[in-house]
Amino acid sequence: MAIYIFIASLLVPRIAAIPSMQKHSRSDIPVINIDWKTVLTKSKTTTTLQVVVNPLLLQNSSIHDNALKSLEYVAADYVRFVPWYPYPKLSVPEIDEPVINGDNCTTSWDFTYADPLMEDFFRSTPNVSHIINFSTTPDWMWILPNGTTYTYPDDINDIDFDYNQGTQLRDPSLKEVSDYYSRLVSWYVRGGFTDECGVYHHSGHTYEIEYWEVLNEIEAEHSIQPAFYNQLYDTIVTAIRAVSPNTKFVGLALANAQNLSYFEEFLDPSKHAVNIPLDFISYHFYGSPDEASTEAEAAQCFQQAETFLNEVSQIETIRKQLSPSTKTTLNEIGTFDPQGAVTIVPGYEVPAEYFIWSGGVFAYVFSRIAAMGIDVIGESQLVGYPGQFPSVSMVDYTTGLPNARLRVLQLIQESFAPGDELVQTNYTSESNIHAQAFVTTDGVRKLLLINKLRDAVTIQIWGLKSAKIEIVDVSTGGDIWRTEDFSGSVFNITGWATAVMTEN
């Protein structure tokens, strides 16, 4: 989650960018033309989500049970678990530095909070692969800027965005930070570890951690420079492999995709130690509109998605050139409501329709990156709430029940999978309808439709005569989608709807 992005966007003048609402007469209604014979590419894309740890996921939270049930609906391979720095005591199991003083040696290792969160996460995501990202390094390992001090909040419910400070580790050999990760991983995969004082801590855990992501939003958190990140990555990966040899790794986790120098440095095997695996890279996108009308905000987010997709294509060029076997996970895709970005403006509620078009942005990015051959896309972030990105939530934070952002992911998961063929689907992009036809591995023909506009649009479809349509829109909200029958060629797609047609 890149905080600085939306803070910056709040500083720019507010533009009232109302999109021009084209009214189409019956004679010039947009036409979608599917050519089932022309296969563009075979999809590799798995759709999944990330779970950012916060107190609403603790077992005593009133929404705990529903939130985890919501997670079960959409648990898929590469589901990502991120204990994150605004909650140091939930995310950093060694919160204080060891005190080593002659025979008096004590450490603060404590998994009281991390363990139940981890256990619940694994229980709610059976039979899929996981990306585990204890992204936050203990603050005492970092040299604070001169003249500053910092104390983490004692109350686990407090949100503190000041935890990640300093740009220099106090142990430049990186042994301290890699030992930290080695012990943390041993706790979860090897049943325990020996601490800095030589004391053994028994956990009994034997998790299979398929993927470990090394740090998070590195350009923002501790302003880690590209070459230094490679060094950290290599050292941490080596330490983790020593205790968990089958774990694969995800690198970069960039807050945004704009600065290509990180990709050029990371994806170049010659800039790593020998035999360091570059299994996956990850980076993020959040639509961050200026405050305007819901309608203008939606239009701006779809526009920003376009910019992001251009960046993806540049990064793909670099990846294919430098390290073609490295896979990609876009593991934080979301949008912000500017009045509900971090906190919520007093008296404001994120409007129900926001979650519809935000889901539409996710569906749109999915469709486009599937065509580009991206491996994984993950929606952000299961539970958000005021203070912790309420508009990035995939559940209602008062009940834990799904909202429309989660339903869109669920609909896409139930409709599309790696191995599907994307076929030529022509339409005029000015219509603000996105359309992409797929043939599933079972030979079933499907059409994904997204209406980027608030108003219903009548469209004409050539190539699909009779179908079942499943629709997430303002009328369904967080409920399960509705189903309609389609026959003929004319379809009225409701405002901001994400719809999947399946040929009868």
Ligand X SMILES: *[C@@H]1O[C@H](CO)[C@@H](O)[C@H](O)[C@H]1NC(C)=O
Q: Which of 46, 331, 335, 393 binds ligand X (CB under 6 A)?
A: 331
Tell me if 135 contacts ligand X by CB under 6 A.
Answer: yes
Decide if 88 contacts 54 (C-beta within 8 A).
no
Q: Which is nearer to ligand X, 260 or 444 (CB)?
A: 260
Selected range binding ligand X among 100-108, 201-209, 342-350, 398-406, rule: CB under 6 A: 100-108
Distance CA 356, CA 406 (A): 10
Selected range binding ligand X among 57-65, 169-177, 269-277, 314-322, rule: CB under 6 A: 57-65
From the list 312, 420, 432, the residue with the least C-alpha distance to 360 is 432
Q: Which residues sit opposite 190 in a β-bridge?
A: none
Tell me if 101 contacts ligand X by CB under 6 A.
Answer: yes
Q: Which is nearer to ligand X, 157 or 483 (CB)?
A: 157
Tell me if 296 contacts ligand X by CB under 6 A.
Answer: no
Q: Which is nearer to ligand X, 156 or 276 (CB)?
A: 156
Shortest approach of ligand X to residue 159 CB, angstroms?
Answer: 13
Selected range binding ligand X among 53-61, 180-188, 303-311, 397-405, rule: CB under 6 A: 53-61
Distance CA 493, CA 451 (A): 7
Shortest approach of ligand X to residue 58 CB, angstroms?
Answer: 5
Q: Which is nearer to ligand X, 103 or 430 (CB)?
A: 103
* Residue 59 DSSP one-character state: T
Tell me if 156 contacts ligand X by CB under 6 A.
Answer: yes
Peptide bond between residue 381 and the one before it cis (omega within 30 degrees of 0): yes
Q: Which of 426, 440, 460, 476 binds ligand X (CB under 6 A)?
A: 426
Shortest approach of ligand X to residue 45 CB, angstroms?
Answer: 17
Tell me if 483 contacts ligand X by CB under 6 A.
Answer: no
Q: Which is nearer to ligand X, 18 or 260 (CB)?
A: 260
Per-residue x/- mask for ligand X, residues 456 to 475, rule CB under 6 A? --x-----------------
Distance CA 84, CA 92 (A): 9
Q: Which of 3, 29, 40, 58 binds ligand X (CB under 6 A)?
A: 58
Q: Which residues sit opposite 106 in a β-bridge?
A: 99
Distance CA 308, CA 333 (A): 11
Per-residue x/- mask for ligand X, residues 245 to 264, rule CB under 6 A? -----xxxx-----x-x---
Decide if 279 contacts 214 (C-beta within 8 A).
no
Distance CA 417, CA 406 (A): 17
Shortest approach of ligand X to residue 292 CB, angstroms?
Answer: 27
Per-residue x/- mask for ligand X, residues 434 to 453, rule CB under 6 A? --------------------
Phi/psi for 91 (5° steps) reads -110, -20
Exposure letters 217-253 (e unless 16+ CB within 10 A, then b): bbbbbbebebebbbbbbbbbbebbbebbeebbbbbbb
From the list 71, 70, 46, the residue with the least C-alpha distance to 366 is 46
In this structure, which amino acid lies at residue 465? Answer: K
- From first CA to last CA, the distance across the chain in angstroms is 41
From the list 98, 81, 96, the residue with the least C-alpha distance to 154 is 96
**Contact set with ligand X (CB under 6 A):** 1, 33, 35, 58, 60-61, 82, 84, 101-104, 126-127, 133, 135, 143, 145-146, 156-157, 213-217, 225-226, 250-253, 259, 261, 282, 331, 424, 426, 458, 490, 492
